Amino acid sequence: MRSSFTPALFVLSLLSSAGAIGPDCVAGPLASNKICDKNASPPERAAALVAAMEDQEKLDNLMSKSKGVSRLGLPAYNWWGEALHGVAGAPGINFTGAFTNATSFPMPLLMAAAFDDDLIFKIGDIIGNEARAFGNNGKAPLDFWTPDINPFRDPRWGRGSETPGEDIARIKGYTKALLAGLEGDKPERKIVATCKHYVGYDMEDWNGTDRHSFDAQITMQDLAEYYMPPFQQCARDSKVGSFMCSYNAVNGVPTCADSYVLQTILRDHWNWTEHNNYITSDCEAVADISLNHHYAATNAEGTALAFIAGMDNSCEYEGSSDIPGAWSGGYLNTTIIDKALKRQYEGLVRAGYFDGDAATYAALGLEDINTPKARELALQISAEGLVLLKNDDHTLPLPLTNSSKVAMVGFWANDSSKLSGIYSGPAPFLHNPVWAAEQMGLSVVTATGPVLQNSTANDNWTTNALAAAESSDYILYFGGLDTSAAAETTDRLHIEWPTAQLDLINKLADLGKPLVVIASGDIVDNSPILALPGVNSLIWANWPGQDGGPAVMKVISGAIPAAGRLPITQYPANYTEISMLDMNLRPTNSTPGRTYRWFNGAIQPFGFGMHYTTFNATFAASKLTYSIPDLLKNCTAEFPDTCPVPAFEVAVTNTGNRTSDFVALAFIKGEVGPAPYPLKTLISYTRLRDIKGSETKAGQLPLTLGNLARVDESGNTVLYPGEYTLLLDEPTQTEISLTLEGEETVLDEWPQPPKRK
């Protein structure tokens, strides 16, 4: 979905969202309607409201800017809220009055790099509390279109940092924890979260093909194994309140008009129907059905196809769908319209929208925004997500004191606007690295630097940077890619460091002083930095949020140890020779494969991250043997792939003298099941905290039958008997054998799509 909407529409949406949340269920016209009866079931309540509407009133409430029904006392409602890493700007959100800001956490990619789902749950809880506080006070809807869980398949994707990375196990763990925090654990939802963009969406505009017309050709194997599982977590396992269908088509059918995607898989196979939640389109995606995919002759027919396929709400700018035309042309009937409206309003019933002060989360308010706990968590996740990629001669942590003179050079050293990334609301504060260094009492000299890929460092930049560096004990260079402004409209053509920045870094390296590079934005090919002897250390910082500056300085100084891991592969610059439109994961004669599972030429791989100490990690067992019949014998879950397998036990010893966290990563590999075989696959992870020098801590790596299974060519999830190898850490420290005995067993039979004409 877009972040660029017109100011006029934004102002109108703000005006329409003012006032207390929900209708008057005490003395208003709806008071006698069952929608206001808390003793009735959510489906009964929603059905009663829809039954009271006239035809035109129904049509007026099928889009994101729903008009409400004044005759019934049903307020207008804008379904479009955003909360990717904190409550953010959106047409339905109003940052006015006392509600002028919200906690701004790092971008999801950096949060995922901490590999700590307990922390992600706490952050989701904070975001959900703040979002509900906005909603309770008429400043926002109760619907928030987050999280973005499309796998980060290609390093050029402009929106990749919105996601938890490239690995399915990591995405599912992040998603499960975040949704539990966002929506809460009560019968009523705190907010209605929305999993997006369903499905096969991971490009914006590349070499003349854009997201509005792209037809993603995906095999059933890749669809079931990679593109779908995050959404399975949302629907089947986390029972999220809402989904968003995407702009693109999959195998010839626009997702918002595809009953196979929306009904067969989402509602039927994943049993999402019983929760009767709603599906919104991405904004303008309905118009794309006819205008760009040419799947329908007119917008009216395309609009009808979407609602018939299972979409329930059209997110739109003016004219993005043609609901009146679909109705008057006879393409839409009352049965389909009523079904969509019932799903929408049942979602609001389940969030207490019609319950006023009696709603479960009605007490959340201004005092729940920007709390001390929220500030603490924002700083913690930012610091713990930072990834140390180079540290020659143990340069970091720097022995900083009040007498230390530090040159802070580069475009974001003293620019707070570079901390937040896309989909950010006004933060209570934005503390950049220079601010943080000054708070530490350091003697700081600053100089800015070049930004763009092809810009040339002018003489003033170079002169000022060298002057600052020459007068200092240490040099901190803050560079990388500043791409957040164009992230949702353009994909990258290059994944190299900007030439002008490399020129300046080389000049700084020639000074022979301790030089630390802190890179913002998405991961690019760091080869020149890694190979340059004069650069002692390299930290990846992505977009670190409201306390990004203090987080960086705490890691640089050693107050918080470096322990983050890369949630994505660092590809070589020439990887861009591959078409971004090729959705295949497995290597072919013309392509080398995608993600760490299939690509064997990473500059630095998924899961890599250095520490300020050294660790020895081992499995507690020397080998493992599991009987498939025994594993299945005690499996009583509706979905067998979710049944637990005995956890792997690991022992991690800090063999240095600095206390540090350690992220234990367990991978599996083996020439078992359908070829070609993945290089390895992450199956479990855990973050062990505060391991002191010479201390050993034990940890457990939980897993399920699904973690041990593979997906066949038809998309079925299969448990294959055979010999596997378990690997611990990246790079691997320990390997042990794992044997699965018994018969090949299908855990999940994937529904096949209908034959297309």
**Can you tell me the distance from the alpha carbon of 169 to that of 683, in angstroms, rounded to the nearest whole number?**
6
* Calculated CA dihedral for residues 354, 181, 363, 29, nearest 10 degrees: -10
DSSP state, residue 473: S
* 70 burial via Cβ count (<10 Å: 0-12, 13-18, 19+): exposed
Q: Helix, strand, or coil here: 119?
A: helix
The helix/strand count (H/E) of the chain reads as 22, 28
Six token digits for residue 332: 């839409």
Specify whether 55 is catalytic. no
Contact status, residue 485 vs residue 423, Cβ threshold 8 Å: no
Place of tokens 């609301």: 425
Q: Helix, strand, or coil here: 351?
A: coil
Walk across the sheet containing 387-391 and list its strands: 387-391, 537-542, 515-520, 474-480, 405-409, 443-447
φ/ψ of 10, rounded to 5, equals: -65, -45
DSSP E strand boundaries for 22-113: 65-66, 77-78
* 641 burial via Cβ count (<10 Å: 0-12, 13-18, 19+): buried
Residues 6+ apart with CB under 8 A from 51: none
Q: Does an H or E element contain 117, and which?
A: helix 117-136
Ordered alpha helix ranges (H), 137-271: 168-183, 220-222, 229-232, 259
DSSP line for 370-392: S-HHHHHHHHHHHHHH-EEEEEG
Residues 6+ apart with CB under 8 A from 390: 526, 529, 530, 535, 536, 537, 538, 610
Contact status, residue 632 vs residue 644, Cβ threshold 8 Å: no
Among 229, 77, 216, 234, which Cα is nearest to 146's? 234
Place of tokens 């003489």: 459
**Can you tell me the distance from the alpha carbon of 196 to that of 732, in angstroms, rounded to the nearest whole number?**
34
**Can you tell me the distance from the alpha carbon of 142 to that of 133, in angstroms, rounded to the nearest whole number?**
9
Residue type, 93: I
Six token digits for residue 407: 């040159």
* 743 burial via Cβ count (<10 Å: 0-12, 13-18, 19+): exposed
* 360 burial via Cβ count (<10 Å: 0-12, 13-18, 19+): middle
**Can you tell me the distance from the alpha carbon of 322 to that of 319, in angstroms, rounded to the nearest whole number?**
7
SS (H, E, C) 444-467: EEEECCCCCCCCCCCHHHHHHHHH
Q: Under the phi-then-psi rule, with left for phi > 0, alpha for psi from -120 to 50, and beta for the rest, what region is 182?
A: alpha
Q: Indicate which residue of 148, 258, 282, 522 is catalytic.
A: 282
Antiparallel, parallel or unpaired: β 242-245 and 278-281: parallel
Residues 6+ apart with CB under 8 A from 182: 83, 124, 125, 127, 128, 131, 144, 146, 190, 191, 193
* Calculated CA dihedral for residues 325, 330, 335, 338, nearest 10 degrees: 20
**Can you tell me the distance from the alpha carbon of 688 to that of 669, in angstroms, rounded to the nearest whole number?**
24
Active site residues: 282
